[in-house]
Structure 1
């Protein structure tokens, strides 16, 4: 039986262990979307994880939702990410860039072009968002035309190519957490009457087309996707058809030969079992709030091939070493999650730091 420290192959790369740094928005990019100098240090500090999945990275101006999130569609973005991937690789790590289009989870004040957000339908999420002037209600987005949907697929394709040019081992498509791809999946956010709305097959079409386009561009073995079946947040409700929708979607994605499927799971266990039965390649499971004593449980039972962790890796650059020796974990400082400088970003102490301090 595999355990968390057993090597595993994802697509064309071998990972040193089965623990993954989950994608986490940190809002510390430069104003133009280029990763800051600190980003290279931040990710390199955590390179002992089997795989790093970066923070959500927009594929276009329209894809940005939050302040100071990174992009991967300009030459400056590529150069910034090349410093990150180089630093991670120097430490022996592997890194996938997560491609995230926020869709309706956006405010004009947060984007470079200051335009209204775009989404499957002109339905506001009904929640506020932080902006340069404080919390503001998110305005209703503009419904994308069919041609704009197809252009967005092309934007994802282009961004994936740029990520590989920047040295990434691959890309993870963000199809979870209420952002654009999940907005297409949910009837509460998608009332379209074209080929991207209505039936389960139509609402899944955008996700499948994005995955196909990226796999064609950079190879299926460099392409992955994250989903969050049944999650209800920011007005997302996949309705009674939710389980059937994901059975169809996962089945379609399985035929593409992707590197992995990443599930953020907070729903019914039977739905997770359905996914495991339909997916025949590596599966990463993320369970928000999973306690330390449950780390490795899904791998031990064979439900998952890898497990991903967020807050514990954020607060513990040496997360893997601490697990190996049973050392206590730093607690994450929630007040420093988004924006700021090195505080709460690159200054969390390691076991080596503590030993050096004791030796003084």
Structure 2
């Protein structure tokens, strides 16, 4: 007897623009803090990603575009030659196994600390501090600081940093890039009315708040073709102390505007597994309800990737219903490097990884999870 997959659509091949993918399973970007103080991707990271190369698409972990963008201990960067070459060994390892990978480009904005920047305050659209929790810094856990407001004339320099990072990602051999506009980081801070109180051309109206992301997209498109550039948003989340009363209006506007560019995809954190702000936005359907992939399908004409708490079953339903074209899995990929194979053969998943190992340095909780060998599979397939 041969097991039949319960996910015929999730596991079917998919053309992402001109990129042929083996399936519609996406490995979500997962910050794992294994790059060291120099923020250089290394051999251990290459092993980790290569273990997961059966995913249709891997989105590499959030990677900072400049020193100013840093805000997470031991996360990787792509603003030096050494960092670019470090990522190349990761990309080569994935490609050697027939996989594909985009790199997520990241600026943390106010979700940072002066200890990352030689005493210089983190930057943000407005001087609004994260107060709900502390930040892990090179000198230990500390309260967030009031960020420095970016001057209008500074913003083109950050846009240029994104463009340069796109160039370096291309030099490293990536298949494309994802612009990180989610989870309370700098671009999200510009998009949301809660954190953007500016009065210049980057603040106020939806059009103005979108302008920073728009300029970044257009800059990256001078390096990569549109079918190799994605954008990630999180309309529902509280990460980075986010959540604006006009969240539904804001993110439907963003999705509509991104249609203009015919991008590779829009990656939407459409669940509320990391916490939902539960804000009321009178004038739109639903009061304080999380935005769904179906809402974005109604306004976005390109490829949609859903993400946030999906199971194999719910992912298949979203694809069969036509809401999502691909589904990203995060935490399941931490402890299941062979997630696609387990989905394919209806095999039990490994237990969730110990959270204390998520951001620790070394192989434990990173590359040491068991996979089903051919011998183990033979017990299930007769």
Output the TM-score relative to the length of structure 1: 0.94
Deviation at 1:150, TM superposition (A): 1.3
Which residue of structure 1 lines up, in the alignment, with residue 285 of structure 2?
A: none
Which residue of structure 1 lines up, in the alignment, with residue 277 of structure 2?
A: none
Q: Deviations over 1:333-352 (max 9, x none)?
A: 21100021000111111011
Q: 4+ residue runs of structure 1 moved beyond 4 angstroms?
A: none
Of the structure 1 ranges 192-201 and 210-219, higher mean CA displacement relative to structure 2 is found in: 210-219
The within-5 A match list for 1:99-138 is: 99-111=105-117, 113-126=118-131, 127-138=133-144
Choose from 162, 175, 183 the match for 2:189. 183
Deviation at 1:266, TM superposition (A): 2.3
The within-5 A match list for 1:130-279 is: 130-239=136-245, 241-266=246-271, 268=289, 272-279=293-300
Deviation at 1:36, TM superposition (A): 2.2
Tell whether 2:342 aligns with 1:322. yes
**Number of residues paired by the alignment?**
354
Tell whether 2:360 aligns with 1:339. yes
Q: Deviations over 1:238-260 (max 9, x none)?
A: 21x22222222111111101111
Give SS of 2:158's match: helix
Deviation at 1:11, TM superposition (A): 2.4
Q: Deviations over 1:173-225 (max 9, x none)?
A: 11111111110112221111100001111111111111111112211111110
Over aligned residues, Cα RMSD in angstroms? 1.9
Gaps of 5+ in 1: none
Which residue of structure 1 lines up, in the alignment, with residue 103 of structure 2?
A: 97
Taking a change above 3 Å as real, the CA distance of residues 62 and 2 of structure 1, as seen in their structure-2 partners, is: same
Of the structure 1 ranges 266-275 and 251-260, higher mean CA displacement relative to structure 2 is found in: 266-275
Tell whether 2:353 aligns with 1:348. no
Give SS of 1:25's match: coil
The within-5 A match list for 1:289-300 is: 290-300=310-320
Give SS of 1:150's match: helix
Output the TM-score relative to the length of structure 2: 0.89
Deviation at 1:354, TM superposition (A): 7.8
Gaps of 5+ in 2: 1-6, 273-288
Instruction: Report the Cα distance in structure 1 between the residues aligned to 2:90 and 2:260, rounded to whole angstroms.
Output: 32
Choose from 40, 43, 54 the match for 1:48. 54
Which residue of structure 2 lines up, in the alignment, with residue 312 of structure 1?
A: 332
The within-5 A match list for 1:56-67 is: 56-67=62-73
Q: Deviations over 1:51-97 (max 9, x none)?
A: 00011000001111111110111100110000000000000000000
Taking a change above 3 Å as real, the CA distance of residues 157 and 312 of structure 1, as seen in their structure-2 partners, is: same
Give SS of 1:181's match: helix
More helix by share: 1
Of the structure 1 ranges 52-61 and 276-285, higher mean CA displacement relative to structure 2 is found in: 276-285
Deviation at 1:123, TM superposition (A): 1.0
Which residue of structure 2 lines up, in the alignment, with residue 73 of structure 1?
A: 79
The within-5 A match list for 1:5-24 is: 5-24=11-30
Deviation at 1:271, TM superposition (A): 5.0
Instruction: Report the Cα distance in structure 2 between the residues aligned to 1:287 and 1:25, rounded to whole angstroms.
Output: 15
Tell whether 2:306 aligns with 1:285. yes
Instruction: Report the Cα distance in structure 2 between the residues aligned to 1:93 and 1:201, rounded to whole angstroms.
Output: 38
